A and B are shown apart, each in its own frame.
Chain A
């Protein structure tokens, strides 16, 4: 039976090619849809992670629960040593986050001032690279602001900003000269970033060490490295991957993905309809042939089985081709940043509210094959029910008279 079906598929190349193309296209489309959706969400996630947080952050567990200055990382040197010893770690930079009030002559804003080590911060964050006007920090007494925050305060490069803080030793204040503006295109970043020299942050906060260590780690290895570091860090101190640092965002993105589900199902439904209709059409085209087969003595059951086998084989072939092409496409889109510039060119303004960087890579997950496979099976079930029922109703003497 399989042989019979296989021969029929192989000999009817044009029809089979069409079926394979339709199934493969549906498979590819489903793979691309989810790879793109997940890649897009990942990109927001990673983008925000590297702009707002750090690939991996080391701080006290108390600070993770309540980011208060009193929970600062006192054993800075020891933690730094642990982090630097891990082979995947490219850089380690101390940070000291202090809640402050920024004052210009025209306005004032509450903000979180991040004291950083100017020489190492660029290795652990994308923010220094997003300084589009002026320059990054070089010395004490300087501050770099998000461009939107700077606009709110109406400050210009070279002007002084008054900074008030409620440190551990009581209120403290200083004046910092604005040397650069961060224009990352990410609203959250451009509205909130305040970077200063870590020593200024120490003066303001009364903390002599840092609140956390930012650890540079290759893309995608954040959680694994955090786990590894946790083996060696002393009690009460822990390393956190992006997921832990940005739990709210992760939840938000999971919800976002859930919202894509109806769209994904709709997509699958269209794909299934396309596959079903091409299978149904291919059966209808062969009414006369089936009539001859029945007349020659093939049973309806056997004919139905043959049609089903053909449909399944053809769909499987299409699925295989679609999976190969789809995954090839996704792997390529995961390695080469093609989507990012394309999306930015098309929707950049519209998307500026999201923490979307210019770098959007497709995600490649095994489960997409399941989504596509489910769709094709669904389609095949429809397809098999319809033509098989049609075949079952065929009367050979009438079927043979069907037009070609």
Chain B
């Protein structure tokens, strides 16, 4: 069942008279329960694609559809509500809120949703537990390692039970072993909890456990490889 549908999306940035084509007609479908990597070198358009899927930005052309509903032209406030209710985000490092503990960070989205304190803390604790962060709930971000910080970010993303978690280069600032461990954790959440993940990476070594890899180059999908099916879908 198709959860996300990206249809012929283009994104052009204009700086003065110079036009930069970040995406040149991308098509992508993501089904519920997928664990999908978007791979490609720097500047290939990975982050732009994830931002468009996350309603953090609008495409210049084309459509983004979430569960049958177009979301690419939503007003700002509606986009915020959508992100809060249905999407989970993991960004590159340093995206925790520095004044909050690990637990508060993990519970932050629930707090914004208005979930009562007791319940949100229980859910945040559970999410942290799933990511092996037991006992570190009271730490501030600056007391955590980079890998631990990203695990808190993942816990924050899944704690509210979103339709999909979009992770933009979550391992970019981690060493490869820690990065691999983070991907393994996300994979396990995908398999055991059924969380849908789409993440971007430029590190090909991380792709061994991924079921589907979409390769972007120069704003175009050049390959869409399913580990079990082995079929491209560009």
Contacts and interface: CB of A to CB of B under 8 A. Distances in A.
Interface of A: 4, 7-8, 11-12, 288-289, 292-302, 395-397, 400, 404
A288 B156 CA distance: 17
Contacts of B77: 299-301
B85 A11 contact: no
B89 A295 contact: yes
B84 A298 contact: yes
B143 to A, nearest CB: 13
28 contacts: A7-B100, A8-B99, A11-B99, A289-B97, A289-B98, A292-B91, A292-B95, A292-B96, A295-B54, A295-B89, A295-B91, A296-B83, A296-B84, A296-B89, A296-B109, A297-B81, A297-B85, A297-B87, A297-B109, A297-B112, A298-B84, A298-B112, A300-B77, A300-B80, A395-B57, A397-B51, A400-B91, A404-B94
B4 interface: no
B76 interface: yes
Contact of B99 (A7, A297, A397): A7
Given A292-B95, A297-B81, A299-B77, 4 more contacts: A295-B56, A296-B112, A296-B156, A301-B77
A101 B26 CA distance: 109
Nearest to B82: A297
Task: Identify the 5 closest CB pairs spanning chains A and B, nearest first.
Answer: A297-B84, A11-B99, A297-B83, A397-B56, A299-B80
Contact of A12 (B99, B111, B156): B99
B199 interface: no
A397 B57 contact: yes
Contact of A400 (B95, B111, B156): B95
Contact of B81 (A11, A299, A397, A404): A299
B165 to A, nearest CB: 12
A295 B57 CA distance: 10
A11 B156 CA distance: 20
B179 to A, nearest CB: 20
B56 A288 contact: no
B100 A298 contact: no
A294 B76 CA distance: 10
Given A299-B77, A300-B80, A400-B91, A293 B97 contact: yes
A397 B11 CA distance: 14
Interface of B: 51, 54, 56-57, 76-77, 80-85, 87, 89, 91, 94-100, 104, 108-109, 111-112, 140, 156
Contacts of A292: 91, 95-97
Nearest to A7: B99
A342 to B, nearest CB: 43
B134 to A, nearest CB: 23
A375 B83 CA distance: 40
Given A295-B54, A295-B56, A300 B100 contact: no
Contacts of B81: 297, 299
Most A C-beta atoms less than 10 A away, residue of B77, B80, B100, B104: B80
B69 to A, nearest CB: 17
Given A288-B94, A396-B56, A298 B99 contact: no
Given A12-B99, A292-B97, A400-B91, A298 B57 contact: no
Contacts of A4: 111
Contacts of B112: 296-298, 302
Contacts of A395: 56-57
Contacts of A300: 76-77, 80
Most B C-beta atoms less than 10 A away, residue of A294, A295, A404: A295
Nearest to A399: B56
A300 B104 CA distance: 21
A288 B80 CA distance: 17
Contacts of B96: 292
A297 B104 CA distance: 16
Nearest to B99: A11
B17 to A, nearest CB: 21
A307 to B, nearest CB: 13
B193 to A, nearest CB: 20
Contacts of B56: 295, 395-397
A8 to B, nearest CB: 5
Nearest to B108: A296
Nearest to B57: A397
Contacts of A397: 51, 56-57
A300 B80 CA distance: 8
Nearest to A288: B94
A305 to B, nearest CB: 13
B123 to A, nearest CB: 15
A7 to B, nearest CB: 7
Nearest to B109: A296
A7 B140 CA distance: 13
B198 to A, nearest CB: 15
A4 B112 CA distance: 10
Contacts of B82: 297
B80 A297 contact: yes
A298 B97 CA distance: 13
A200 to B, nearest CB: 81
A291 to B, nearest CB: 9
A8 B140 CA distance: 13
Nearest to A297: B84
Nearest to A15: B99
A118 B130 CA distance: 96
